[in-house]
Amino acid sequence: PAEVIAACDITFACLADPEIAEKVALGPDGVVAGVTAGKAFVDCSTVDEACSQKIGAAVKAAGGRFLEAPVSGSKKPAEDGQLIFLTAGDKAVFEECEAAFAAMGKKSLYLGETGAGARMKLVVNMVMGSMMNAFAEGMSLADAGGLKAEDLLDVLDAGAMSNPMFRLKGPNMAQGKYPAAFPLKHQQKDMRLAVALGDSLDVSMPVAAAANETFKRAKAAGKGDDDFSAVHAVLKK
């Protein structure tokens, strides 16, 4: 990482979890080791606020500039340039990166001080994970009740609950197929971090906490590398 930082004015990274993000940023020959005055580091990893602030502080202490920019969107939106960037930190870096964000995504938001982007991403992924659990439970209940999955999907898509996630994931889930776009192990990590954020802010989150437990069950059942919709596999009767 230090060599990349040294060669570039602005460096982007997108890593799996806080532990890896810190290792790449702060470890030997990591990002901070290569930072010199004016260099910018844009971290698109989904991490907790404390991790993002720790990395940002180290980058700035070395004379660099820092912008957190976790993304909303998985494999297909990334391939299609349809990501949503949830940024916070150095606003000048945000403005310098707007063309890059436009090339990779459909929307970029500047949310304020470092940590706000991390918090927003955890809230978004908490809602998504909770929705997927409810959807998987609904599909399982419909199946147990003798209803056809395609009929349930048709009803959901015709009403107020219509959304791209149900349309994209539902047909594969009905066939017991879970091709990975966003691995379940990463969704569970995000649920864990979101529940921890709720604890730190004294916000009751019983739905998210229950969803996290179901993702943990699925991960323990060997579904961690499958798509996060594979939570359905442990809910089927």
Q: How many Å apart are CA 4 and CA 127, to the nearest integer?
A: 35
How far is it, in rounded angstroms, from Cα 108 to Cα 201? 26
Q: How many residues appear in the chain?
A: 237
Alpha-carbon distances, residue 194 vs 22, 121, 123 (angstroms): 19, 9, 6
Q: What angle do CA 77, 127, 101 make, to 5 degrees?
A: 35
Active-site positions? 121
pTM for the complete prediction? 0.93
Q: pLDDT tens digits, the chain, 237 residues: what are they?
A: 999 999 999 999 999 899 999 999 999 999 999 999 999 999 999 999 999 999 999 999 999 999 999 999 988 899 999 999 999 999 999 999 999 999 999 999 999 999 999 999 999 999 999 999 999 999 999 999 999 999 999 999 999 999 999 999 999 999 999 999 999 999 999 999 999 999 999 999 999 999 999 999 999 999 999 999 999 999 987
Residue recorded with tokens 């940024």: 87
